[in-house]
Structure 1
Amino acid sequence: MLIPHEIRIQCSWVTVATKDKKAKWIQDKTEVPKCPIFVFIDLRSDQVGDLAEDLRYLLNREQVIAVLHESFHNKYKLSTVNPDRALTEVYGALATLKGVGHNFTDEIQKKMTIIIVGEDVFINWFLGVFCDLNLPDSPSIVPIALGIKSNIPFSFGWEFDAMKPVNKILETVLNHTKQIKADSWRILINLKAIPTDNQELPYCLHLCTPVDEPDRENVDNRPLIRGEFWNYFSIGVDDPRLYGASRFRHTSRTLNRLLAKVEVLKHHGDQWEMLSIPSSIRSIVCLNLPSFVGGLTPWTTANLKKDHRKGLTSSFTDDGRLEIIGSRDDLLSPKKRWIRLDQVREIRFKFIEESAEVVNMMIDGVPLKKSPLDGLDEIEISYCRQVSVLVEQGYSAKSIHDS
């Protein structure tokens, strides 16, 4: 699991004598590890200190990297490294070494594994940064939750147990995993005007304002919120446990008071068609992984005969389709009255103009606070890209290639 010294000394966050970095090797005598690992830990967690030290003891200090998004305060005063910089330097070092004849770098590149330790919002942000780098021989990802039940790790079998020794986690990564692909989904929230209420956005989302030359995603040159999700997007959910105890629960509130229409595209080349939504539905979840908000898996209890009549098939993490799930209850309701509405490649929500309603939305477990309906125009969700993930044996997420 140890990254060879010849690679680590090329990284700027590693303290090493200049003469060592410039040393010339006579021959390849580097032993290629079975599973070379880098670990990136969200510095915001209260448990990060002990976990980081355990990992650094079992691996080495340079392979365990503390990460903190620029919008947060470094309360631990620990040295941090941006993930894009760290990964760019590591892969740059591999390319440099290969360029001078050290072919062991090819094997390391193929076997590279990245462990991400943090909550869903951190994993979402990190995966976006990671994918934007377009790394060669894309390394496998292991998402691990930090002390709480995060749904992205849970879907792949990586539920964090504070009592489980770190060496057991690493042993599982090394010997008891399988690689699968996982889809991600692009979300564009089109606004009628630039928000003036200082709306707080999760750091995995970005507010894009009109520019002189609009891009392909924003041909109308309107303000929009742009992002990506790996687990789920929900809309219309009205639960005080998610949005704060002060928010009043409207028990009679349904989606037909929010949405003018919902359109879906099921396959490439298809025409957009209206999605039929029962009038009693209070929320819709666009679900990519089989775990969200406390580990619910609504499609495991779906009515298979009804699904077959609708043309719905089994759900996989890498099939390029979203599960569209409707609920008559709050998202956290123990009743779990879920209706499987459709499987789609793209979906868009069009809002009723001048409605007095407030729309509640969540992306990968993070609520979008203060979302007045009169500021929203349309939400578009479409397939984005894939990442390789290592899954623990017995995981709930399934690949389309599983036998």
Structure 2
Amino acid sequence: MLHESQVSHTLTGATTVSERSEILIYSGYSCKQGWFFTPCSSDPSLRGLKNILRIHIKKVNCSDWEQIPIPASVRSVVALNLPSYGSGRNPWGNLKPDYLEKKGFVEAHADDGLLEIFGLKHGWHASMVMAEVISAKHIAQASAIRFELRGGEWKEAFMQMDGEPWKQPINKDFSTFVEMKRVPFQSVMVHGD
């Protein structure tokens, strides 16, 4: 549990008034995001991500997909290919070597070829993550991710790519798949001399 002194220390640790303002604005914005205030389903058994989303991953040097569980407390799933999110925040956090080993993770780097998958539990959790008071709920690290979306009573899933939101249509009778993986050749800008 966070105490007021921990939050105060984090906010005063910012070096400029501008940085403190940005943290407060972003934290307030996180609490008001639509995915936290989506209407509850009429049937309590249909609530939660686990009822509309399955996550499959491929680990490094493995050709098989493995389904991983989504913690019941998670309301939003984020996949990153570099340790930066929401105006340069690091929600994955700087993890201790013992924790990395226990979870089977490696330290996250922009060029490691891995995607970090984490969850946000609710608006206040997202606010504290964005203020860098705590880290997000770590779910997995993988070389490829496949999200399987199942519609049911939902007709669309609210998604975001590179900061741009979109509504992904989903079918109530069939699964919709969104796959992310590293491509063998990256796009490079070259000067034509």
With the shorter chain as reference, the TM-score category is 0.5 to 0.7
Q: Gapped runs of 5+ residues in structure 1?
A: 1-238, 390-403
Pick closer, same or farther for the CA change 1:254–1:356 going to 2, 3 Å: same
Corresponding residue to 1:322 among 112, 115, 129:
115
In the alignment, is the contact (CA less than 8 A) between 1:355 and 1:373 conserved in 2? no
Alignment match, 1:354: 152
Aligned residue type for 1:290:
P
Aligned residue type for 2:68:
L
In the alignment, is the contact (CA less than 8 A) between 1:318 and 1:386 conserved in 2? no
Pick closer, same or farther for the CA change 1:267–1:301 going to 2, 3 Å: closer
In the alignment, is the contact (CA less than 8 A) between 1:240 and 1:249 conserved in 2? no
SS in 1 for 2:69: coil
SS in 1 for 2:92: helix
Normalised to the residue count of structure 1, the TM-score between the two structures is 0.32
Pick closer, same or farther for the CA change 1:355–1:303 going to 2, 3 Å: farther
In the alignment, is the contact (CA less than 8 A) between 1:283 and 1:331 conserved in 2? no
- 1-structure distance, mates of 2:48, 2:80: 20
Question: What percentage of aligned pairs have identical amino acids?
Answer: 29
Say yes or no: does 1:382 pair with 2:181: yes
Measure how far apart 1:388 and its partner are.
Answer: 6.6
SS in 1 for 2:118: strand
Corresponding residue to 1:249 among 16, 37, 40:
37
Normalised to the residue count of structure 2, the TM-score between the two structures is 0.62
Aligned residue type for 1:350:
E
In the alignment, is the contact (CA less than 8 A) between 2:58 and 2:66 conserved in 1? yes
Alignment match, 2:170: 373
Alignment match, 2:56: 263
Corresponding residue to 1:333 among 126, 131, 154:
126
Aligned length: 146
Q: Gapped runs of 5+ residues in structure 2?
A: 1-29, 41-46, 130-134
- Deviating more after overlay: 300-309 vs 345-354: 300-309
Higher relative contact order (CA 8 A, sep 6+): 2
Cα RMSD of the aligned pairs, angstroms, is: 3.1
Alignment match, 1:295: 88
Pick closer, same or farther for the CA change 1:341–1:353 going to 2, 3 Å: same
- 1-structure distance, mates of 2:61, 2:124: 31
Aligned residue type for 1:267:
V
Pick closer, same or farther for the CA change 1:254–1:354 going to 2, 3 Å: closer
